[in-house]
Amino acid sequence: MSDVMPDAMPDAMPKVMPKVMPGVMPDVMSDVMLHCADVGVRFGGVKALDGVSCVLVEGQITSVIGPNGAGKTTLLNAFTGMVPMTSGSISLRGERVDAQPPHVRAGKGILRTFQNLEVFTNMTVLENVMAGRHRKGAYGVLDAFFKTPRYHREERECREAAMRALEFTGIAEMASLPAGELAYGNQRLLEMARVIAAEPELLLLDEPAAGLNMRETRELGTLIRRMRDELGITVALVEHDMELVMDVSDMIYVLCFGELLASGTPLEIQRNPAVIAAYLGTDDEDYPDGDADDDADDGVDDCPAPDDSAEETGREA
Amino acid sequence: MSRNGILSRLAGGSALPVGLFFAAMLCMPYVLPNPYYVSTLTLACINAIIVVGLNLLLGFAGQISLGHAAFYGIAAYATGIATATYGLSMGMGFLIAVGLAAAVALLVGIPTLKLTGHYLAMGTLGFGIIVYIFFNESIELTGGPSGMVGIPRLALFGRELWDDTEYFYVVAAVLSLVLLLSLNLIRSRFGRALMAIHTSEKAAMCIGVDIARYKLFVFVLSAIYAAVAGFLYAHYLGFVAPSSFGFHFSVQLIVMVVVGGMASVWGAVAGAFFLTALPEFLRVFESVETLVYGGLLVLCMMFMPHGLAGGLTALVRKMRRNGQRPTAPEGDSHV
């Protein structure tokens, strides 16, 4: 792609998705998991996202990268409905979801993990994962009050699915521990297990490698790939660790100051001069007043990994 | 016992402890030295019913209510007015009491539960005070500050339960049922959703929990528990006055939850029993009674920050760990 368009048109699109232009649905919907068109998000006068269009293909790992404050987490938050969009549309398997609140979208299978761990510290590890499977539960309050056969059947299924998810991430032997007692890296795996148990249609990972050491990050990469290959989960990954991104991604979107800068396979992205410029800091005059565009959604968004863990503990306290 | 067999099939893990608790309660009138203690224990059980509900709200879902005495009072007055003033049946009184409290909780809950933290506390506090003023001022309806008399004694199957021991059994049975239902609830997807809301609303939302709906559900449920307690209270004493349902009692309920142990159904019972009975044992201190009471609460919180239930659990875990391996457990010191 970069070879074809060396002067880096921001809307450069890979061949997998022929006609993805703002507001236009692609021809083939069957393998498109999530399609977002012309998404804009404003925080007051600040444009956090501006006209971002992208396609997440079913069964693929799609990464969203970009310098600090590029709007990556904001994009994830727009997918889950945690920030209101000022323009554009989002469809899951061709169905518009942008008017739905987060819990409804989660019910439809858009699930996510958090940059700052959001483990339920008041539960055991197993309960955390069972809670994650909330959307799969169907029994009512009366079933719970009186422990009907339906309750027993569903709880057993839920427990089994949770154990499978814990085994998948390799922390099954910690199932009965209080979740807060787990080491940081294991809490990350617990968050993974929690979403895996929910059988997501689309899994959004917000900087899953933040605070992990090199070995843990490599294992994370393996885990993410296994989620795609063995469980068929469609993954969207926001990550700063380029080694991880280049290693696992089928497709990469590059955001810069709220706008789509480039997209393509890892190889194409690595050779894209606009991307290189954005990361190495030349060509600055194309993207003025960068700090104004800093993400306002999380406060701590898009900081380099070591800072995140510090922020995380600060926020939990 | 066929009854136990059915129960255990219905309730699985919670039936045995609740059954044991009920059996222990049945023995209490024979153990306690005089009938006065039975009546104290009856009030403790009535309080425990409210506190179990309030703990679902505060301890599990993490939502504070400083106005829970209001639901207790609304139900007590509602059944009192229905039965004493209008001569309706006990069953009607119960339905009106619980229905009214639930309806008020629903109306109050919808706007109030949008608030968080201190604002939720202020909102519910305001609600409690308004209801308290209403009890005091609407004299033709409630009898005003001097209270309302002549509420009939609870009757079951056409028989009035004048015997305090019998009444205690009924209250203990209701408390046991409330315990069973609550234990079942927290061990379900609903309990997990409530606890999820407590730690992280963001994460709860993102696993598909409709936060507003669950908060409202647990708020109304806890109001219903308080209403059941209010019904039992009114038909026990035969007399209700606004002073029983004021801000002071709302705070006492919170203290029972905290001293008993947040997010523990059994802790709620322990807290209610402990704090209802404590003043009786502190009578010997006469003029410094309140000081000793306050001092004991401070000591409780200093040495058992997770309440009576948390303190016991930590003790058991420590003993178990000491038996297994000498490594010191971490994580007991936080909060």
Of the pLDDT bands very low, low, confident and very high (cuts 50, 70, 90), residue A215 is very high
| pLDDT of A274 | 87
Structure tokens at B196: 């999820």
Is a pLDDT exceeding 50 seen at residue B261? yes
Burial of B296 (0-12, 13-18, 19+ CB in 10 A): middle
| pLDDT of A124 | 95
Structure tokens at B90: 């006990």
CA distance B65 to B124: 5
For residue range B115-157, list pLDDT tens digits in order. Answer: 877 888 899 999 999 999 999 999 999 999 999 999 999 988 8
| pLDDT of A209 | 93
Judged by a CB distance cut-off of 8 A, whether residue A114 touches chain B is yes
| Bridge partner residues of A205 (DSSP) | A237
Find, in chain A, the residue whose alpha carbon is nearest to that of B184.
A145
Tell me the CA distances in angstroms from B272 to A270, B254, B261, one per residue in order. Answer: 65, 10, 11
Q: Count of CB atoms within 10 A of residue B135's CB?
A: 27
Q: CA torsion angle for A230, A232, A233, A239 (degrees, to 10)?
A: 60
Q: Count of CB atoms within 10 A of residue A104's CB?
A: 16
Mean predicted lDDT score pLDDT of chain B: 88
**Any alpha helices (H) in B189-264, and if so which ranges?**
189-199, 201-206, 211-237, 247-260
Interface of A with B in 32-51 (CB under 8 A): none
Cβ-nearest to B207 among A106, A154, A178: A106
Q: At what angle do helices B265-281 and B35-55 cross, to 10 degrees?
A: 140
Structure tokens at A147: 């422990």
Q: Count of CB atoms within 10 A of residue B292's CB?
A: 15
B196 and A131 within 8 Å at the Cβ level: the answer is yes
Global pTM value: 0.84
Cβ-nearest to A144 among B185, B330, B331: B185
Q: Count of CB atoms within 10 A of residue B48's CB?
A: 28
- DSSP calls for B308-324: HHHHHHHHHHHHHHHHH
Q: Which residues of chain B approach chain A closer than 8 Å at the C-beta?
A: 10-12, 181, 184-185, 188-193, 195-196, 198-200, 202-203, 205-211, 217, 263, 330-331, 334
Averaged pLDDT for residues A80-105 = 94
Averaged pLDDT for residues A168-183 = 95
Is a pLDDT exceeding 90 seen at residue B310? no
Averaged pLDDT for residues A283-298 = 42
* Strand arrangement, sheet containing A234-238: A110-112, A202-206, A234-238, A61-65, A251-256, A259-264
DSSP A17: S
Judged by a CB distance cut-off of 8 A, whether residue A120 touches chain B is yes
For residue range A103-135, list pLDDT tens digits in order. Answer: 999 999 999 999 999 999 999 999 999 999 999
For residue range B178-211, list pLDDT tens digits in order. Answer: 999 999 999 999 999 999 999 999 999 999 999 9
CA distance B64 to B54: 8
Averaged pLDDT for residues A288-310 = 38
Domains and CATH numbers, chain A: 1-53+61-68+81-100+248-257+265-272+283-288 (no CATH), 110-200 (3.40.50.300)
For residue range A227-285, list pLDDT tens digits in order. Answer: 999 999 999 999 999 999 999 999 999 999 899 999 999 999 988 888 888 876 654 44
Q: Where are the domains of chain B?
A: 16-27+35-247
Judged by a CB distance cut-off of 8 A, whether residue A112 touches chain B is yes
